[in-house]
Amino acid sequence: MQRLQKVIAHAGIASRRKAEDYITQGRVKVNGEVVRELGVQVNQKDQIEVDQVPIYQEEPVYYMFYKPRGVISAASDDKNRTVVTDYFTETSERVYPVGRLDYNTSGLLLVTNDGDFSQKLMHPKHEVDKVYVAKVDGVASNKKLMPLTKRMTIEGKKVAPAQFAILSTDTKKQTSIVQLTIHEGRNHQVKNMLKACGFPVEKLKRERYGHLALGNLRPGEYRSLHKNEVNRLLEETKV
């Protein structure tokens, strides 16, 4: 079930606020009956009309996408840069990314047209683990990275403790490969946490989201999620 104004907005008829105006003005019908109250819930089987014109409700779709570096995590960009949805030209549904990965961060990104699914995964009270692998400047050690396991203050805000593992170090090149697991999604969080420990990030990739892993996907490729994968993701959220 979704709010009526949300369904109208998602169908591309108008913005959500404008859709609310249409409802209160009596321009919207649900199953042949005029609806004037905001907050009415509808489902996929309900027939919705705006100004006597039926709107099409898309079936929900769910994808796992391997975002390359240099791609914007958005459905559009006012600077005409490459965005995630540029890779979904064969998809008829109006999809968008769940959350975001930084412009220069690659890896696993969920893409959908299901707003409720997206909001549940992104809600700050929900704790879905996300696993990143970073190439950092400097030779990492457990001692130096130990602050990651406690509540750090990043840009004036407390962040939840993370788990880390040092995958490799190169004393000659003075670099390290570090794996970091977090369940929040603040802007530049992984980069800022590692930088606070003295290890600026050179490259960053998200390898897992909950139980999902990139598997055989290559940058720019995507695949549909199976129903059991979607259900398990929702089960992994904790309130």
Give the residue numbers marked as catalytic. Answer: 102
Nearest Cα residue to 49 out of 29, 25, 20: 29
Q: How is residue 199 written in tokens?
A: 């290890």
Q: How far apart are CA 239 and CA 52, in angstroms?
A: 41
> b/e for 127-157, b at 16 or more Cβ within 10 A?
ebebbbbbbbbbbbeeeebeebeeebebeee
Other beta carbons within 10 angstroms of residue 126's beta carbon come to 15
Distances from the Cα of 137 to the Cαs of 68, 122, 152, 202, in angstroms? Answer: 21, 30, 20, 7
